Amino acid sequence: MLKKENHAKIIFHIDMNAFFCSVACILNPSLRGKPFAIGRENTYRGVISTASYEARAFGIHSAMPISEAYRLKPDLMIVHIDYKYYEEYHKKFISVIRQYSTIVEVASIDEVYVDMTEASKQKHPLVLAKEIQSRLLKMFGLPCSIGIAPTLFLSKMASDLKKPLGVTVLRKREVEQILYPLSIKDIFGIGKRTYPKLMASGILTIGDFMNPKNEEIVVSIIGNTQYEHTKKCILGQSSDKVEPERYSDSRSISTSLTYDIPLSSETEILYEMRKMTRELCQKLKKEEYYTKTVDITLRDIDFHTITRQKTLEEYTDDFSMIFELVTELIEDNFKDKTYRLIGVGLSNLLHKNELPKEYNLFTDQTKEEKESNIDQLIDMFQEKYGKNSLYRGRKKN
């Protein structure tokens, strides 16, 4: 067994290596060993979603404009795969992980945190990690790297140390030896816009970041709150709790999607969110629930995530009212970036039987009936003639 530090938990962070590219190779074995990238086919527009390891050798990486990728390698193959195949293989690898532990937290379509404390009482964690790696590769052709540590943050840092097909153990007492020499840009949570500022100020390594002499410099760049939080994470003082239901809430519903080809325009995002909002409203009506709070989630290609919300004055299940708030939230928060994940959520839910007595169900139903034909017409036009073909007008104050 790994020697426990004050009864520390054993957390695995399992990160699928170049997941989208791996699935592409499963579907088309002729791609194996070749430089290719996931993106829009037959165009110089857009950005690379991810690149095979062979393509990375030419300097091609995620978020790179396709035109720039072609400049580095003119004969680069660009491949587009239907997202349903990624979901299919996500479910397959999750099914294997659940055979080892029931405490699994899905972080994204290609990574999970797993509490392996109990499983490690029967078998050495390194043996378990190698076994999981071997099974995923043999059964599905999916390579992965695994980080083993006493906290979620350190397990994530550990899994990034050896790719592809690496297994890394990171104990608290080894943090200074293993992490401090690494580049500042390797700290999980330090974004691509932040680390250049730190480096320009002489904070080049994680060791520099942790040096008390540099605290004033670091705080001036990232703020005291993030500095203290990040420092605790690096020292192994962050959460060791894997939460399978971390984002679940019986009083809220939500839906989100990760896109292999990131979305780069406000129009594209609203088009996708319209469908998401429609789906959630249908669920509300089916379960006879009403909502008062609407939120949106945007995660860009640098993995910066924002969540914003607005609250209505009254409860509703009306699609038009809800999507109006979604639109306002996007207009207020959309930046000139490309986004890999978007989501819509409804919270502050009440069942029909729990609504305040003064709430007029009949008025709301009448409004819904008046709006439904318009909404259906808009949907038909957009499906037939494109995302920009027709939109509902909005009032200007």
Confidence band for 363, pLDDT divided at 50, 70 and 90: very low
Q: What is the mean pLDDT of the chain?
A: 86
User: Read out DSSP for 346-388?
Assistant: EES-EEGGGS-TT--HHHHHHHHHHHHHHHHHHHHHHHHH-TT
The pLDDT, as a whole number, for residue 135 is 97
- pLDDT, residue 360, reads 46
Least Cα distance to 203 among 188, 218, 182 occurs for: 218
CB 344 within 8 A of CB 295: yes
Q: Does 253 score more than 70 pLDDT? A: yes
> Could you give the CA distance from residue 45 to residue 364 in angstroms, rounded to a whole number?
44
24 in Cβ contact with 17 (< 8 Å): no
Tell me: pLDDT of 18 over 60.
yes
pLDDT at 336: 83
Cβ–Cβ < 8 Å for 118, 101? yes
Closest CA to 75 of 89, 60, 62: 60
- At 294, which amino acid appears? V
What whole-number distance in Å separates Cα of residue 310 and Cα of residue 322?
Answer: 10
Tell me the domains of the chain and their CATH numbers: 1-172 (3.30.70.270), 179-241 (1.10.150.20), 252-385 (3.30.1490.100)
Residue 379: per-residue pLDDT: 64
Distance of alpha carbon 17 from its chain centroid, rounded?
15
Query: Is a pLDDT exceeding 60 seen at residue 49?
Result: yes
Q: What is the mean pLDDT of residues 323-343?
A: 89
Tens digit of each residue's pLDDT (9 = 90 or more) over 64-123: 888 899 999 999 999 988 878 988 999 999 999 999 999 999 888 889 999 999 999 999
Is 111 labeled as catalytic in the residue annotation?
Answer: yes
Instruction: Confirm if 298 and 344 have CB atoms less than 8 A apart.
Output: no
Q: What is the pLDDT of residue 233?
A: 95
DSSP character string of 163-222: TTT-EEE--GGGHHHHTTTSBGGGSTT--TTTHHHHHHTT--BHHHHH-GGGHHHHHHHH
367 pLDDT band, cuts 50/70/90, is very low
Q: Does residue 257 register a pLDDT over 80?
A: yes
Residue 141: pLDDT band by 50, 70, 90 thresholds?
very high
**Residue 158 in tokens:** 């550990």
Catalytic choice (87, 111, 176, 328) = 111
Check pLDDT > 50 for residue 212.
Answer: yes
What was the pLDDT predicted at 374?
Answer: 58
b/e string for 369-393 if b means 16 or more Cβ within 10 A? eeeeeebeeeeeebeeeeeeeeeee
Instruction: From residue 380, give the alpha-carbon distance in Å to each of 41, 269, 290, 393, 394.
Output: 27, 18, 26, 17, 19
* Greatest pairwise CA separation for the chain in angstroms: 67
The C-alpha angle with vertex 84 and arms to 81 and 86, in degrees rounded to 5, equals 70
Residue 387 in this model has a pLDDT that exceeds 70: no
Average of per-residue pLDDT across 303-325: 86
What's the DSSP call for residue 3? P
Kindly report the number of other CB atoms within 10 A of residue 349's CB atom: 20
Would you give the DSSP letter of residue 160? T
What pLDDT was estimated at residue 372? 53
